[in-house]
Structure 1
Amino acid sequence: MNNPQPFYKRRFFQGALLALVILCGFGIRIFDLTDPPLDFHPTRQLRSAILARSFYYEWNPSADPVLRDKAVNMGNSLEVYEPPILEALVAGVYLMAGQEIWWVSRILNAIFWCIGGLTLFWIARRYAGFFASLAGLAFYLYLPFSILASRSFQPDPWMVMWLLLSIASLMRWMDTHRWIDAVTAGLLAGMAVLVKMITVFPLVLIWAGVILFRKDGRLWLRKPQLYAAVGLAAVPSVIFYIINLGQRSSSFFSFWTVALSHLVLESNFYADWLVMLHNQFALTNILLSLLGIALAKREFKVVLTGGWIGYFIYGLFFPYQMVTHEYYHLMVIPLIGLSLTPVADALFSRLEVQHWFWQTVAVGVLICASGYCLYVSRSVMVAQNYAGEPLAWKKIGEAIPADGKLIALTSEYGNRLMYYGWRGIAGYWPDSGDLRLFNLAGSAPTDFESYFKDKTSGMDYFLITMFSEFDAQPDLKNELTSKYPVLSEGDGYLLFDLRHPK
Structure 2
Amino acid sequence: MRQLHGALVAQSLHWSEAQDVPGWQRAMAAVHLEDEPILEPPLLERMAIAAAGASNGDYLLSGRLLSVLFWMLGAAPLHALARRHHGRVAAMAAMAFYLLSPFAVLASRSFQPVPLMVATMVAALWAIDRHDEAPGRRRLAEAALLSALAVFIKPGAGFFIVPAFAALAVTRRGARRGLLGADSLVFAAVTVVPSLSWSLHGILVSRSLKGSLSLALRFDLLSDEMFWNGWLTMVDKVLGLPLLAASLFGVALATARLRALLLGLWGGYLAFAFVFKYHVSTHDYYHLPLIPIAALSLLPIVERLTAAIPARAYAVAAACAFLPLWAAHRAIDVVPDPAPSLKRVEAVAAAIGHTPRVISVSDDYGLALAYYGGVSSVSWPSMGDLRLERIRGLPEVATSERLEKMLRERDAEYLVVLANDELAAQPDLQTEVARRAVLAEGNGYKVIDLRAGAR
8 Å CA contact retained: 1:241, 1:249: no
Correspondence 1:309-328 to 2 at 5 A: 309-328=267-286
Q: Structure 1 residue 112 and structure 2 residue 70: aligned?
A: yes
Q: CA deviation at 1:217?
A: 6.7
For 2:215 and 2:384, the matched residues in 1 are separated by 15
8 Å CA contact retained: 2:121, 2:150: yes
For 1:404 and 1:274, the matched residues in 2 are separated by 40
Measured against aligned partners, the alpha-carbon deviations of 1:315-341 in whole angstroms (never above 9, x if no partner) come to 111222222111111011111111011
Q: CA deviation at 1:264?
A: 0.8
Q: CA deviation at 1:279?
A: 2.6
Bigger mean CA deviation after superposition, 312-321 or 140-149: 312-321
Cα 1:455–1:96 shift into 2, 3 Å = same
The secondary structure found in structure 1 opposite 2:85 is coil
8 Å CA contact retained: 1:166, 1:189: yes
Q: Structure 1 residue 454 and structure 2 residue 405: aligned?
A: yes
Amino acid at match of 2:414: Y
Amino acid at match of 2:338: Y
For 1:156 and 1:485, the matched residues in 2 are separated by 43
Match of 1:469 in 2: 422
Measured against aligned partners, the alpha-carbon deviations of 1:100-140 in whole angstroms (never above 9, x if no partner) come to 45312222111111121111111111111110111111111
| 50, 59, 80: which one aligns with 1:92 | 50
For 2:413 and 2:266, the matched residues in 1 are separated by 50
Match of 1:488 in 2: 440
Q: Structure 1 residue 255 and structure 2 residue 209: aligned?
A: no
8 Å CA contact retained: 2:344, 2:445: no
For 1:343 and 1:453, the matched residues in 2 are separated by 61
Amino acid at match of 1:283: L
Amino acid at match of 1:123: L
Q: CA deviation at 1:308?
A: 0.8
Structure 1: give runs of 5+ residues left out of the alignment.
Answer: 1-42
Q: CA RMSD in A?
A: 2.4
For 1:101 and 1:453, the matched residues in 2 are separated by 35
For 1:404 and 1:201, the matched residues in 2 are separated by 39
The secondary structure found in structure 2 opposite 1:407 is strand
Measured against aligned partners, the alpha-carbon deviations of 1:234-289 in whole angstroms (never above 9, x if no partner) come to 22112211145425266224432224x32211344323322221233211100111
| 144, 149, 160: which one aligns with 1:191 | 149
The secondary structure found in structure 1 opposite 2:415 is strand
TM-score in terms of structure 2 length: 0.91
Q: Structure 1 residue 303 and structure 2 residue 261: aligned?
A: yes
For 1:112 and 1:312, the matched residues in 2 are separated by 26
| 386, 389, 400: which one aligns with 2:338 | 386
| 370, 393, 416: which one aligns with 1:418 | 370
Q: CA deviation at 1:456?
A: 2.5
Cα 1:228–1:96 shift into 2, 3 Å = farther
Amino acid at match of 1:203: I
For 1:362 and 1:177, the matched residues in 2 are separated by 35
Structure number with greater Rg is 1
Correspondence 1:26-65 to 2 at 5 A: 43-65=1-23
The secondary structure found in structure 2 opposite 1:495 is strand
Q: Structure 1 residue 164 and structure 2 residue 122: aligned?
A: yes
Q: Structure 1 residue 142 and structure 2 residue 142: aligned?
A: no
Bigger mean CA deviation after superposition, 122-131 or 72-81: 72-81
Correspondence 1:344-383 to 2 at 5 A: 344-352=302-310, 356=311, 360-361=314-315, 363-368=317-322, 370-380=323-333
TM-score in terms of structure 1 length: 0.83
8 Å CA contact retained: 1:465, 1:493: yes
8 Å CA contact retained: 2:89, 2:303: yes
Cα 1:242–1:141 shift into 2, 3 Å = same
For 1:359 and 1:240, the matched residues in 2 are separated by 47
Amino acid at match of 2:123: L
Q: CA deviation at 1:451?
A: 2.7
Using the aligned pairs only, state the percent identity. 28
Measured against aligned partners, the alpha-carbon deviations of 1:202-252 in whole angstroms (never above 9, x if no partner) come to 222111111121047755667544433322212211221114542526622
Match of 2:390 in 1: 439
Amino acid at match of 2:382: D
Correspondence 1:96-245 to 2 at 5 A: 99-215=57-173, 219=177, 224-243=182-201, 245=203
Runs of 4+ more than 6 Å apart: none
Cα 1:402–1:284 shift into 2, 3 Å = closer
Q: CA deviation at 1:53?
A: 1.1
Cα 1:380–1:142 shift into 2, 3 Å = same
Q: CA deviation at 1:152?
A: 0.5
Amino acid at match of 2:265: G
Cα 1:444–1:349 shift into 2, 3 Å = farther
Match of 1:6 in 2: none
Structure 2: give runs of 5+ residues left out of the alignment.
Answer: none
For 1:333 and 1:495, the matched residues in 2 are separated by 43
Cα 1:154–1:137 shift into 2, 3 Å = same
Cα 1:180–1:257 shift into 2, 3 Å = same
Amino acid at match of 1:449: S
8 Å CA contact retained: 1:435, 1:444: no
